[in-house]
């Protein structure tokens, strides 16, 4: 259960807990979790709509759907997945590609990032198809060591001949406990047209994470993203699903 803020009814009875944060300029009520399975979801949703007006909120699918029915705008339906690293997959790179440890700047990654997330992609966010927006998104992953430092198991794919970046697997140390914390695959992306690079990046990062002594790796994948098939093939399993919404 997340630490942080409490959501209570008018009599002071505890309904839920959530972690407060920021998302794209909005206050974020992250991982809203009822205090018990028998909690009155209708009451919880009504209080959330009233007291968290204008916030972005994420919650389990049941609470999320009630929030949408109450006027919230859906933002993302995602699945949190986890992999036990007791037997990590073998790592190998496609011909002409080398997989290296992360030692790069946002500027070096931006071109492949923008190519990987064009308008129309499930995970596209407005503005990130231009360099300033792409750099801001990348910096939130690679340049925030106090909030969630980038781990040494992060990997970058480069063209062997030119050294041009083709994609990356970026793994952060997320402070909460699993399944929402621990080593977290924050980004896995590759340029279109380079089949096999995404899988090679992921396998290399997972292998390195296991060698570094990590027991598990977690990630979030958007509902409908074909990448979920790759994760499942490598042994990731869904441990929870959430809806993120904008509250009116």
pLDDT-derived band at 175, boundaries 50, 70, 90: confident
Residue 1, pLDDT > 50, answer no
Residue 99, pLDDT > 60, answer yes
pLDDT of residue 209: 97
Which residues contact residue 40 at a Cβ distance below 8 angstroms, ignoring those fewer than 6 apart?
Answer: 15
Q: What integer is the mean pLDDT of 1-25?
A: 82
pLDDT-derived band at 178, boundaries 50, 70, 90: low
Range among 15-24, 133-142, 176-185 rated most confident? 133-142
**What is the rounded average pLDDT for all residues in the chain?**
91
3-state helix vs strand vs coil in the chain, percent to 5: 25, 35, 40
Alpha carbons 30 and 18: distance in angstroms, whole number: 6
pLDDT of residue 177: 66
Output the pTM of the full model: 0.87
pLDDT-derived band at 40, boundaries 50, 70, 90: confident
Residue 246, pLDDT > 60, answer yes
Residue 171, pLDDT > 80, answer yes
Q: What integer is the mean pLDDT of 45-56?
A: 95
Helix (H, G, I), strand (E, B) or coil at 56: strand
pLDDT of residue 3: 57
pLDDT of residue 233: 93
Output 116 or 26, whichever has higher pLDDT.
Answer: 116
Contact status, residue 59 vs residue 76, Cβ threshold 8 Å: no
Exposure on the CB side of residue 199, measured as CA atoms within 13 A? 17
pLDDT of residue 146: 83
Q: Reading across the β-sheet that carries 237-246, which strands appear in turn?
A: 5-8, 14-23, 26-34, 56-60, 237-246, 73-84, 216-222, 182-190, 165-174, 155-159, 97-101
Digit-coded pLDDT (tens) for 193-221: 898 999 999 999 999 999 999 999 999 99
Cα distance between the two ends of the chain: 25
Domain boundaries, the chain: 5-71, 82-239
Residue 35, pLDDT > 90, answer no
User: What fold is seen in the domain 82-239?
Assistant: Aminopeptidase (3.40.630)
Contact status, residue 151 vs residue 141, Cβ threshold 8 Å: no
Name the one residue in this structure whose structure tokens are 């480069």. Answer: 158
Residue 150, pLDDT > 90, answer yes
Q: What integer is the mean pLDDT of 165-187?
A: 88
- Among left, alpha and beta (phi > 0; psi -120 to 50; other), residue 193 is left
Helix (H, G, I), strand (E, B) or coil at 170: strand
pLDDT of residue 42: 87
pLDDT of residue 4: 72
Output 31 or 97, whichever has higher pLDDT.
Answer: 97
Largest Cα–Cα distance of the chain, in whole Å? 67
């Amino acid at each position: 259960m997340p630490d942080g803020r409490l959501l209570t009814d008018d009599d002071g009875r505890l309904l839920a807990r959530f972690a407060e944060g920021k998302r794209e300029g909005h206050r974020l009520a992250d991982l809203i979790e009822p205090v018990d399975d028998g909690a009155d979801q209708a009451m919880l949703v009504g209080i959330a709509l009233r007291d968290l007006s204008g916030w972005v909120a994420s919650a389990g699918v049941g609470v999320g759907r009630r929030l949408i029915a109450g006027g919230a705008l859906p933002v993302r339906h995602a699945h949190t997945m986890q992999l036990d690293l007791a037997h990590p997959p073998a790592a190998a790179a496609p011909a002409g590609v080398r997989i290296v440890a992360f030692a790069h700047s946002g500027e070096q990654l931006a071109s492949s990032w923008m190519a990987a997330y064009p308008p129309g992609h499930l995970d596209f966010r407005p503005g990130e198809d231009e360099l300033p927006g792409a750099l801001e998104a990348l910096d939130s992953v690679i340049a925030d060591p106090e909030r969630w430092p980038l781990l040494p198991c992060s990997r970058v794919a480069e063209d062997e001949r030119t050294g041009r970046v083709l994609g990356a697997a970026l793994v952060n140390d997320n402070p909460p406990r699993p399944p929402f914390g621990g080593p977290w695959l924050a980004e896995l992306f590759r340029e279109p047209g380079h089949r096999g690079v995404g899988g090679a990046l992921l396998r290399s990062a997972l292998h390195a994470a296991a060698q570094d002594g990590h027991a598990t790796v977690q990630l979030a994948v958007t509902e409908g993203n074909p990448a979920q098939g790759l994760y499942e093939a490598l042994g990731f399993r869904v441990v929870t699903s959430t809806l993120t919404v904008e509250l009116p």
